[in-house]
């Protein structure tokens, strides 16, 4: 097990430059998307700080509250726009937006919108575009090379839990059509009175029957409803960052950990400890796994699960948490992971192959210490094992240590295109970034 130690990280980033125009591609009557191959850096319109040799372009801007996204085989990008919106794009309707670059300049010049509902999750599978629309997952028939559906949506999963609490119903679909869906918890630690100082936890936490885990469905099914029988794994507070490995068979998550250790238990935890705990863990999720929420949290400083104070913990005791499966890795606390993506493309240098990118939305629960996150990091995974340290990959989405709810841009979704480019979405400014390797 490899665990990141914040004090030992040293990383120097440079200002990103962007892709040069690739010229007119001889677009067809169908306005086919252009797949760009390793463009040279010419100017900086992405504004991100990236490692040397990488370029960032603004593929689209101000499109709405852009959550997760997916890239079609021809390079088209589909984005789910959330109903609960932030920042200057709050007035743009939720739904699905399709984006296409027809002239190879690294920017979408065709934009199509459809669907009246939107939330977070989105995927392409077997000729359909799947989308989370709140308490349901629907699918639209999308012919190859088209930006709009050829017919109405049908409902694949319905009756999913909604408000209160975490409402991002993100999901992934395996090549054989198995769908894994995240149902985030409605609370912080399943207390008798949520987020109240000194309130104990509910011993038989009823939330676990319907929330705080991963549920399994058939992507080709209709109007399926969640049940205890369809629950795949539990004890994961809110796994918005959910992905499959390159084979499409192994499931991974970076769940959002619990909050307010000091705020709710000031006699046990200092503000510094509350800012540093719990670690945001990277885990492989298998059938019937239990990662311990709300009874346990992961202390990334000592690399061990701890018993939560709501259930008798004191910041040191392990108790019932001793048998939990250890995570693959632990990232800093409260950075809010919203996407995790294995890199299997061929555009980036070989050291990125099979490594993991994680998009961090940024914190709110580090007060009175500075907030943190608002970045995309890379975790090398040579031979399938996590390296000792992660690396900052994309920074500059906002000013350093922004006050709560003031960040200009916040990373949300990640997707790798067929040409190896990495797309990053932002739900505050409605921006889609396209990151490529210049080869220089």
CATH number at residue 225: 2.120.10.30
What's the number of domains the chain is made of?
1
**Contact predicate 132/122, CB 8 Å:** yes
Range of the domain at 95: 6-437
Percent of the chain with pLDDT over 70: 89
Q: Is residue 1 part of a domain?
A: no
Average pLDDT over residues 151-170: 90
Asked if residue 151 belongs to a domain, the reply is: yes
Spatial contact of 99 and 122, defined as CB atoms under 8 Å apart: no
In a domain, 248, yes or no: yes
Mean pLDDT estimate for the chain: 89
Region 322-342 average pLDDT: 97
For residues 73 and 118, the model is more confident at 73
* Residue from 411, 85, 407 nearest 254 by CA: 411
What global pTM score does this model have? 0.90
Mean pLDDT comparison of 8-12, 159-163, 267-271, highest-scoring range: 267-271
Query: Per the domain annotation, does 110 fall within a domain?
Result: yes
Contacts of 227 (CB under 8 A, 6+ apart): none
Q: Is the pLDDT of residue 238 over 90?
A: yes
Range list of β-strands (E), 258-364: 280-285, 296-299, 304-307, 329-331, 337-342, 356-360
- Answer whether residue 152 is part of any domain: yes
Is position 11 within any domain?
A: yes
* 369 within a domain of the structure (yes/no): yes
Instruction: Work out whether the CA dihedral 364, 369, 370, 374 comes out positive or negative.
Output: negative
Identify the DSSP state of 199: P
For the residues 359-387, what does the mean pLDDT come to? 91
Q: Is the pLDDT of residue 321 over 50?
A: yes
């Amino acid at each position: 097990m490899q665990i990141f130690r914040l004090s030992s990280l040293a990383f120097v980033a440079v200002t990103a430059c962007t892709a040069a125009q690739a010229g007119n591609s001889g677009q067809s009557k169908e306005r086919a998307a252009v797949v760009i191959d390793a463009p040279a850096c010419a100017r900086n319109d992405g504004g991100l700080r990236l490692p040397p040799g990488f370029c960032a372009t603004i593929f689209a801007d101000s499109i709405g509250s852009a959550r997760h996204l997916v890239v079609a085989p021809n390079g088209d990008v589909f984005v789910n726009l959330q109903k609960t919106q932030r920042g200057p794009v709050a007035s743009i309707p939720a739904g699905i937006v399709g984006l296409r670059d027809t002239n190879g300049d690294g920017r979408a010049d065709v934009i199509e919108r459809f669907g009246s509902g939107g939330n977070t999750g989105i995927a392409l599978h077997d000729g359909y575009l799947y989308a989370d629309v709140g308490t349901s997952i629907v699918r639209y028939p999308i012919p190859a090379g088209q930006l709009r559906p050829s017919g109405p949506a049908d409902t694949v999963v319905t009756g999913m839990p909604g408000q209160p609490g975490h409402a991002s119903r993100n999901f992934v679909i395996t090549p054989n059509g198995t769908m894994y869906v995240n149902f985030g918890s409605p609370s912080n630690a399943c207390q008798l009175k949520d987020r109240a100082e000194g309130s104990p936890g509910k011993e038989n936490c009823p939330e676990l029957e319907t929330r705080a885990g991963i549920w399994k469905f058939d992507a080709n099914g209709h109007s399926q409803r969640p049940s205890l029988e369809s629950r795949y794994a539990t004890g994961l507070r809110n796994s918005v960052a959910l992905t499959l490995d390159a084979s499409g068979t192994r499931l991974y998550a970076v769940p959002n950990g619990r909050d307010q250790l000091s705020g709710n238990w000031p006699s046990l935890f200092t503000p510094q400890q509350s800012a540093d705990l719990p670690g945001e863990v990277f885990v492989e999720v298998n059938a019937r796994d239990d990662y311990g929420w709300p009874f346990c949290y992961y202390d990334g400083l000592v690399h061990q699960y701890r018993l939560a104070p709501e259930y008798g913990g004191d910041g040191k005791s392990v108790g019932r948490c001793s048998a939990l499966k250890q995570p693959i890795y632990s990232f800093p606390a409260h950075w809010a992971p919203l996407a995790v993506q294995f890199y299997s493309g061929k555009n980036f240098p070989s050291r990125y192959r099979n490594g993991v990118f994680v998009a961090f939305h940024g914190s709110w629960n580090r007060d009175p210490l500075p907030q943190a996150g608002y970045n995309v990091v890379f975790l090398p995974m040579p031979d399938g094992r996590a390296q000792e340290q992660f690396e900052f990959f994309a920074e500059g989405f906002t000013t350093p240590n922004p006050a709560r709810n003031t960040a200009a841009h916040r990373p949300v979704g990640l997707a790798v295109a067929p040409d190896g480019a990495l797309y990053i979405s932002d739900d505050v400014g409605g921006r889609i970034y396209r990151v490529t390797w210049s080869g220089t």
